[in-house]
Amino acid sequence: MEITAEAVKKLREKTGVGLMDCKEALKQSKGDMEKAIEFLREKGLAKLQKRMGKIASEGIIASYIHTGGKVGTIVEVNCETDFVANTKEFQEFAKDIAMQITASVPLYVKREDVPAEAIEKEKNIYRKQALESGKPEKIVDKIAEGKLEKFYRRSASSNSLSSRTRT
């Protein structure tokens, strides 16, 4: 079966995979777009499993200090090679991450850093809110847990390698 450039282009647009991989997937699937997508997904998982053992031992430490010097973030971003770490794009990426963490104003670096007292205080507030809004007693704890998850997302940075200090 002849695989057209149009079909390869269409598969590439749908998946973001390289041209040669798209062409191979279409050959393997005899031109069936859905089967080609499935083939690429399976192949991607195999590639991912090969990479799982690799260590991202290279990288950079970037920082961002907000105007006035009162708030700042230091972040370590790792990659597999020093070639990547030394590119301008990677360095800008690390700087952007530091800036985004600073802008998100996390109170804690990671979920595990949130003190038990703060968790209990928030749970109590959420329970009271649910009860006062007329929610049944039996679902109050579930509501509080759901709101606590939102609290974690707001209060703890998603990047456990970042740190935040205030002076």
pLDDT of residue 24 exceeding 60, the answer is: yes
Against a cut of 0.85, is the pTM above it?
A: no
pLDDT digits (tens, 9 = 90+) for 65-74: 988 888 888 9
38/24 Cα distance (integer angstroms) = 12
DSSP letter assigned to residue 4? P
| 91 against 164, higher pLDDT | 91
Of the candidates 159, 64, 148, 146, the one whose C-alpha atom is nearest the C-alpha of residue 114 is: 148
Share of the chain above pLDDT 70, in %: 87
Of the candidates 122, 118, 115, the one whose C-alpha atom is nearest the C-alpha of residue 143 is: 122
Domains and CATH numbers, the chain: 5-51 (1.10.8.10), 58-104 (3.30.479.20), 111-166 (1.10.286.20)
Distances (CA, A) of 53 to 56, 81, 108, 161: 10, 14, 30, 20
Which pLDDT belongs to residue 109?
76
